[in-house]
Amino acid sequence: MKQFIVSPLNHPIKATISVPADKSISHRSVIFGAISNGRTEIKNLLASEDCLSTLKIMQQLGVEVNVFNNYESVTVYGKGLRSFVEPKNILNCGNSGTTIRLITGLLSAQNFLSVLTGDDSLLNRPMGRVVEPLTLMGAKIFGREHNTKAPIVITPGVLHGITYEMSVSSAQVKSAIMLAALYAKGETKIVEKEKSRDHTERMLTAFGAKITQEKNEIVIGPEQSLEAQSIQVPSDISSAAFFMAAGSIIPGSEVIIPKVLVNPTRSGIITVLKKMGVKVELTNKKDVSGEPIADLFITTPSELLATEVKGSTIPLLIDEIPILCIVMAQAKGKSVIKDAKELRFKESDRIKTMVTVLKKLGVEVNELEDGLEINGLNGEPFKIDPDIEWPKHFDHRIAMSVAIAALKCTEPVNVPGSEWISTSFPSFEKIISKLQVAVV
Ligand code: S3P
């Protein structure tokens, strides 16, 4: 694993920090543009490795893509729902779960063979959760370990609508089914136990799909065509969360993060930080391309309170839990995260990895089957235990969480896994080093 050094901050952060574009919305804008009719213009696409995997796969499927000014603007020329060509080669999704799961849904309805693979982390992640509902719809999908792991092979199938009760809360699974449903005979109904992020519902509706939603039920039917759109991608709250956390734990800080996505299915981190006593103000609220955005203003609290996070809140902050663990480790008292077993199936087993990370930082932590109990240091700096090794992982969000913790450590930290950060946040190291030099 590559490493980079982060030194403790001996001054508050008083800064405006711009974070990159939202990963989930970036993937979807490229995929939906590719199956629409006409020219979809995407402003502020996230040009990270994960989204570039999606973009490259659309090109391998015969879609014309043009990139302007270093990804400031990207145009995708869609020729309709049935315009893909059979890819000549294997489609490589890299580290990206969103790419492999959404595209599996889409390709299960095509009239040709395709093979999807990814890196070591992706090859270990569960794919049965998409294979199962798509197979019920009539898709012909095969994979390693009894069709539960990638590489995935898809051959032509004739799809029909189903009613499907999701056993896990997963927007990737929901979106894969919705994409397949565009091609199926009859309507598809999806029932979620806990509501997951709703970008597919919002964006497909904007592209012209007819979707009805009531509470946690979605009904989507087949479509003849979708219409190209212009999309402005907002800043990613999952990336903003690292600097919201820094502002919460470095005393005296005032951090402004502009134009952040504050969709209620994604903004659980704001609710929880507020509960812990952090002042988070939202200004300049508006809607951009069907998604709510706001500028965030974070002020360090005089006392950071422990809290419990569970149940339907978990899907609303699922990607923010590693960095939330770092904030909890600075709070006064015991914090608890439960009902979060899904963390075990992310880019790494994030429960296990964070337990090791927190122990290495000198924090008392207890591993639960579905979460963690964390005894906060009440503002005392983290002290590295030289006897514990950093966990080996393929996980961008763990590497960034360690880097933020390092700002509040007694000594400089060699942050492991820097090569993974570019899957979602290519400018992260640059921002961290700027913060270390001076008040920016
Ligand atoms: C995503 C959904 C979530 C999230 C991932 C992005 C999406 O995964 O963790 O980073 O874009 O739909 P699950 O669907 O597995 O919960």
Task: Give the domain-ending residue among 221, 243, 265.
Answer: 221
- How far apart (Å, rounded) are the C-alpha atoms in residues 23 and 236? 7
| Best residue among 22, 192, 318, 394 to mutate for probing ligand 1, ranked by most atoms within 8 Å of CB | 318
Q: How far, CA to CA in Å, does 374 sit from each of 139, 332, 390? A: 44, 10, 18
Position 211 in a domain: yes
Do 119 and 30 have their domain in common? yes
Ligand 1 centre to CA of 164 (Å) is: 19
Look at residue 71 and give its three-state secondary structure.
coil
Lowest mean pLDDT among 145-154, 203-212, 383-392: 383-392
Query: Residue 418's pLDDT is what?
Result: 87
Query: Residue 438's pLDDT is what?
Result: 53
Is the confidence at residue 433, as pLDDT, over 80? yes
Considering only CA atoms, which residue is closest to atom 4 of ligand 1?
A: 319
Clarify whether 395 is annotated catalytic: no
Task: Give the domain-ending residue among 160, 190, 221.
Answer: 221
Short-list 341, 354, 434, 342, CA closest to 397: 354
The single residue of 22, 119, 319, 395 carrying the catalytic annotation is: 319
Considering only CA atoms, which residue is closest to atom 10 of ligand 1?
A: 319
Do 333 and 386 have their domain in common? yes
Mean pLDDT over 293-312 rounds to 98
Q: Domain range for residue 85? A: 23-221
Do 423 and 300 have their domain in common? yes
Burial-class residue 156 by CB neighbours within 10 Å (0-12, 13-18, 19+): middle
- For helices 171-181 and 128-136, give the axis angle rounded to 10 degrees: 30
- How far apart (Å, rounded) are the C-alpha atoms in residues 64 and 71? 15
pLDDT digits (tens, 9 = 90+) for 345-362: 999 999 999 999 999 999
Q: What is the secondary structure of 324-383 as a DSSP string?
A: HHHHHTTSBSEEEE-S-GGGGGSSS-HHHHHHHHHHHTT-EEEEETTEEEEE--TTPPB-
Burial readout 258-277 (b: 16 or more C-beta within 10 A, e: otherwise): bbbbbbeebbbbbebbeebb
- How far apart (Å, rounded) are the C-alpha atoms in residues 33 and 342? 30
% residues pLDDT > 90 (the chain)? 95
Position 194 in a domain: yes
Do 294 and 378 have their domain in common? yes
pLDDT digits (tens, 9 = 90+) for 47-92: 999 999 999 999 999 999 999 999 999 999 999 999 999 999 999 9
Mean pLDDT over 26-53 rounds to 98
Is the confidence at residue 35, as pLDDT, over 60? yes
Position 364 in a domain: yes
Position 285 in a domain: yes
Considering only CA atoms, which residue is closest to atom 11 of ligand 1?
A: 24
Do 205 and 217 have their domain in common? yes
Do 210 and 256 have their domain in common? no
Look at residue 239 and give its three-state secondary structure.
helix
Q: Which residue has the higher pLDDT, 137 or 440?
A: 137
| Unique residue bearing structure tokens 């964006």 | 203
User: How many Cβ atoms sit within 10 Å of the Cβ of residue 430?
Assistant: 9
Considering only CA atoms, which residue is closest to atom 16 of ligand 1?
A: 170
Position 403 in a domain: yes
Where do the DSSP E strands lie in 378-419? 413-416
CATH at 304? 3.65.10.10
- How far apart (Å, rounded) are the C-alpha atoms in residues 66 and 245? 36
Ligand 1 centre to CA of 63 (Å) is: 24
Q: What are phi and psi of 327, to 5 degrees?
A: -65, -45
Mean pLDDT over 152-179 rounds to 97
Query: Residue 392's pLDDT is what?
Result: 87
Helix (H) or strand (E) segment spanning residue 153: strand 149-155
Ligand 1 centre to CA of 51 (Å) is: 13
Do 9 and 45 have their domain in common? no
DSSP 423: T
Position 227 in a domain: no
| Unique residue bearing structure tokens 């950071």 | 304
Do 284 and 425 have their domain in common? yes
Ligand 1 centre to CA of 170 (Å) is: 6
Is the confidence at residue 439, as pLDDT, over 60? no
Task: Give the domain-ending residue among 162, 187, 221.
Answer: 221
Position 368 in a domain: yes
Query: Residue 437's pLDDT is what?
Result: 72
CA-169 nearest atom, ligand 1: 16
Position 229 in a domain: no
Ligand 1 — pocket residues by CB below 6 A?
24, 97-98, 170-172, 175, 197, 318-319, 342
pLDDT digits (tens, 9 = 90+) for 346-402: 999 999 999 999 999 999 999 999 999 999 999 999 999 999 999 988 899 999 999
Do 249 and 323 have their domain in common? yes
Ligand 1 centre to CA of 25 (Å) is: 11
Do 264 and 376 have their domain in common? yes
Number of structural domains found in the chain: 2
Do 211 and 276 have their domain in common? no
CA-174 nearest atom, ligand 1: 14
Do 14 and 30 have their domain in common? no
CA-342 nearest atom, ligand 1: 16
Show Cβ contacts of residue 273 under 8 Å, excluding neighbours closer than 6 positions.
244, 248, 280, 298, 327
Ligand 1 centre to CA of 96 (Å) is: 10
Half-sphere exposure of 232 (CA within 13 A, CB side): 12
> pLDDT confidence of 440, banded at 50, 70, 90?
very low
Q: pTM surpassing 0.85?
A: yes
- How far apart (Å, rounded) are the C-alpha atoms in residues 24 and 119? 19
The mean of the pLDDT values for the chain is: 97
